[in-house]
Structure 1
Amino acid sequence: MTLASIDAWLAEIGDGDIEDWANKGLLRRGRKLAEASGADAVETDGERLTTRLDGHRQTLSGPGFDRLDCGCPATATCHHLVALLLLAKTTRMATIDESAAAAGAADPDWLLGDEAPLVRSLGRAHWDRAGRWMRLGLVPELEEGPAGWVAEVTERASERVRMARSAGPEAATCTCGAPRCSHRALVVLELRRRLGLFDPASVENALSREQTESLAAIERWMTQLAAAGLAGLSPAMTDQGRVLATAARQADLPRVGALMAALLDLLEQDRQGRSFADVRGIGGTLAALRLLVGSLEKAVPQVPLLRLTGVNRALYRKVAGLRLIGVAAEHWQGRLGQEGISVHCYAPGEGRWYRLTETRRPLQDQQGQWDPVEVWRHGRWAEGPPLRELPASEVLLRTGWVSAEGRLSGRPGTRLEHRALRDPAAELPVETDFGALRGRFAEVMVEDLMAPPPRLPVVIRIAQAGSRQFDPQTQWWTQPVTDPNGAELTIGILVRNPVSALKRQRMETRAPGSAQGWRLFGTLYRAQAGLALDPIALLTDGAAAWMSLTL
């Protein structure tokens, strides 16, 4: 039976499996050694396969890479074992073909049976963690074939799991390199979920101990803040809040961390007496944070937990063949001095917006050596095109990574091609009905009431531009614009730094009145005075590219 199970496993693995277990170099060396040795080098005693290469004995005593053994001095995987696998696949070709034909693509017994053996094989800690991941909504991307499954699991990093149909998790490989891991367990749970053998909702405690402790600490901090009031807020309390915000992000609670950071920003602005910070904003943010923390502690079943926890910036999924239209770039500054460059892109096939961002906080750039404008002029996306060539270009992301929140990554391994577009707005969704646009924004807000108010990327066509107004007390610059049917929308800029001042200056170069042919790209958001569009770039009829308002 052991030899039959070995044959079944050998029939299901290929070069990709061996490379993930070893590496490209060992696969290359092992192939050369196998070719030099010949298929006759493999022997069997009916239970195991053996060979002798370079004076050392190699043995395969069962299905799975962990059943390989070599007598050479290497402390880990060696090219001798790679050679044994390649020789064994060649030597036992006929038997392997028969095993593959007999196995077919039926669901194996190890997958259909009780979960107890799977828990023992994978480890209780990994099994429980994978269950929490699925309760949060993290699902692996699976490709199924006759030999088994290949899965991409993207949590903090993207890992590839290969699982043979006959041998299951005991013979599975994962690019994380660990002998047992939560990535393998997640794949098994997803397979059982598809068969109706596992329900993610059955996971009672979806939050980890670190997440539970982080939420409890933030709850205590909010109680202290409410007791002290704004007048009694001390530097020590704000410092503690910063620590708790960082701890929330590290515990995979990025939405909680982001709301904490936003609240602390508003508290800091109030302390400094800035005109654009007010008590209503502080109260609203504190109320949103209380609601979010309370919902997470109670694990509200009506709301997917991944919406409550948020998506970690490191949570990217691998994509291939994603076609993007580069639209516009912007230089921006945050409330506490953070600064960055964002290039906005649209994916026509998905009907979705993405952005590539590079940013620095003041603490990361204490010497003032990071210049966003220089990054724009000379920076590149991964090893691909210069950033300045991306707007008005078609980009084919052959291999890349994107987040659930629409961020594009520049991590190593990103491969892309680009070419200039004749019409920079040809495939963009241009909004000509501002009333319908308001309705769509309301729908996005209702989709996720736990989320911070959204910023919706849009391209609008303007028929008329009204008179501009500026309130020196609130630093709020506005200009009403109308669509062809007379429906109105407000362009709004909060002028609080040199970048937003430049944006205002460039918007004022366009005289009020007829604006036929204007297309404006920006983000639609809920301001205190109502719905407003924060402008990013402008395109007029006949222009070859969008004009950035900040670069």
Structure 2
Amino acid sequence: MSVRDDVAALLARYDEDTWVALANRGLLRRARKDLTATDVRVVAEDGTAVEVGVGDVVVRLGLAGPSDATCTCPSPVTCQHVLTAGLWLAAGAGTPQVAASSPADALHDELMALDAATLTAYAGLPGFRWASILLDDADEPPVLTRDGYLTVTFPRRGLTARYLGGGLDALVLDQAVPGVERFRVAVVLAWQRAHGLVLTPPAPRGTRGTGPSEAAVSRTASRERLRATAAAVLRDTVRVGVSHLSPAIHERLVTAAVWAQGVEYHRLALLLRRISDEVELLLVRSARADDLALLDDVAVAHALVAALEATAGREPAALVGRARTAYDPVRRLDLVGLGGRPWRTGSGYHGLTCLFWDAAGSRMLTWTDARPETLAGFDPRARWRQPAPWTGLATPAAATGRAVALTQAQVSPDGRLSGVESTTASVGDVRGADLLASLPVRDVWADLAVRRVTGLLDVVDQNALWAVVRPARALPAQWDPVAQVLRRPLLDEADDVLVLEVPWSRLHAHAIARLEAIGDDLPAGACVVARVQRVRGRLVGEPLSVVVPDRGNDAVDALHFDTDPHPGAGGGSALVADLLAAGTADRPTSPDGSDDDPGVVPGPVSALRAVVEQAAQRGCGGTVPGDVHRRLASAHAAARSIGLSVFVEPDPALDPAELLLRSSYLVQQVERALG
């Protein structure tokens, strides 16, 4: 086939959404009109591209398609003529033969075949590292689809990339982004990781980088300079105004983020990357941009820099942080399986998380397997009885209520077990009484070590929230039709209440039916394994399993998976049957059960937030001297008048930007405490 045939075959796979992503719907509509009103013809062809005449201009289209096309018109972006030429070629006009569209499997193979050397050559070492870190630190993993062509969506950015063939340059992004090459590499890495291939980022070079070289200065000196640089750029975002930041601010933030990673300030690097991403959304006028959310993040990052400055040379590990992908090798772990739970997030991921008790380490550990919902062949409930990640353990279900010894295990600092193939498992029976004796059972709710975040810079250990509780009695289950949650109160001997809650989801339908079917009370001596948190003054637990000591070697009853004693539609539960019949929408959950639900905020605090946001949006660089201090002082005094003494008199000697960031942090801290 000729180059013209290859280009036409690529363009034949473009659908309406892809053409719109290249430009916009109005331009596409005008391009279609040009097909009938303008003379379109092939004027030249060589070994790399075909040239198409559209009226008086000439469009050159190569194997990368319209995203890398050129036009003799003066437009600096993808123009109407490029779309017209592409549509004309896609329709097969003037082309002897257009190849059939490649199947999605062939496109998948093309992305999977790209190696680290190719990606590094395309985006450079910094671009490859940036793309890897973007995926490592993503709060919401990319969502993948395969339907005629391949798409990768980054939920936080609202950015979708489409691959229809033609190599890296042919990846179509539906937004204009700075550094498009690094985003294309991130798309490829995201696709590969979702299908089990993780490319190792190239090692940083000591003689390169945007911050001071580690070969030239000590890490201590480099960190000192970074803190000053980061604090300055964060203040400048408020001085300029978060509603009208410049590309220069964005570049300074990216530079500081890379520098922070280089000096192993992992937590600060993550925050600065997130802030730079938010600034980028503002610069491209994305509908997902939120300047007030940006202000909140800037204030938290500014506080983190101040905390690092105050503890320089002896920075606590919680402030420094660790890379999310870091795992520590452990020669042997003796664990007990306590069950598992399926989950689905609002960002389009679902998975299975299993819980284990490490008696020697007095801690809970978890193993999670997750995939995009759009990736065929993965079912969180079915995963429970599919092969386990470690040799020697048949399935995740086989670990429930059993002693599991892992050899050559890998454990992250936050208690996540890696599914690496080098880990081996041996499984043994353990009787119910012995199992309970090894667990940290709590009979009195006042003794529960419920962790509550006391500061915005606190790190929450999600695994520490798991508890094993033995109630004195249980009250009947109740369904909340407004919150779409099943609640079952558990009482201790002092009649203190811990409420078990299961949010509605088809993945949780089995657990809801089981929790209803237990009856008016739990079996004698039974314990409940649950994630317990204090929510606005009350104890709330998400149940995982029930431990019944007199059941021998099958003491752990996994509520989400074990056989329902009342089989039938909806597991014998009329409630579940009605919810399924009504098509009730799922309430998204998450692997860690996090749920942001703010409490009631007093009026003076809301008023102070309004003052800070107004000044930070407009910018305080050109305000009348003393104006910011005067307004903040008045708002702080109103907050102190209702007993919130943390809002002290602002120091008039401080920079107005510094005052605004400090006030913003205090407002967020009080809102968190009251929530």
User: Normalising by structure 2, what TM-score?
Assistant: 0.40
User: Scaled by the length of structure 1, what TM-score is found?
Assistant: 0.48
Greater strand proportion: 1
